[in-house]
Amino acid sequence: MKLVVGLGNPGRRYARTRHNLGFMLLDRIADATDTRIGDERCESLVGRGRWDQESLVLAKPQTYMNNSGLAVAALVKRFQVRGADLVVAYDDLDLPFGRLRIRCGGSAGGHRGLASILQYVADRDFVRLRMGIGRPPAGVDAVDYVLSRFSPEEKGALDGVLTKAAEAVEVIVFKGPVSAMENFNRVA
């Protein structure tokens, strides 16, 4: 079983913001796997399904980004997954828009949602899928930037970014994170 968690903030106010890129990715994977995300469990919206022969749990923590660790720890315990079977997808300011970076282990890199997960989840060798949103323009606060909606140019490219990120998760699930790193970390 693989547990794929997309980070974001609950509610309509945040629905299409940069910080909810993880939620958007889970919606894309749910569509591809015919999985309904809607069961309330472990402070998350959860969907259980299959991706070919692999059991899959898709989860959107409802604890708000900065407290994601509370939900993820409960999900890990509930579904009894080890770090290698946990994939966490989230937005990243330090990558250009549309760029993906996959890795296992490491630090939070300043991302508060990931820092919360590292605080509450014992096995830190889970797979991280960072999705670039780029840096804010000069004079724009980082918090305001991540909570803002995508620019018209970004909206035009967003579908392709989500498709590429869903493909990366598929490679992680079926071929492992090393193969995904080789195929997606170098792609601009």
Residues carrying an active site annotation: 19
* Structure letter (DSSP) for residue 89: E
At residue 91's C-alpha, the angle toward residues 26 and 21, to 5°, is: 35
- Pairwise CA distance, residues 78 & 28, whole Å: 24
DSSP lists the bridge partners of residue 168 as none
- Pairwise CA distance, residues 53 & 11, whole Å: 33
DSSP 140-171: --HHHHHTSBPPHHHHHHHHHHHHHHHHHHHH
Residue carrying the six token digits 């309904």: 36
Tokens representing 48 are 């259980």
| Contact of 153 with 137, CB cutoff 8 Å | no
- Pairwise CA distance, residues 57 & 3, whole Å: 5
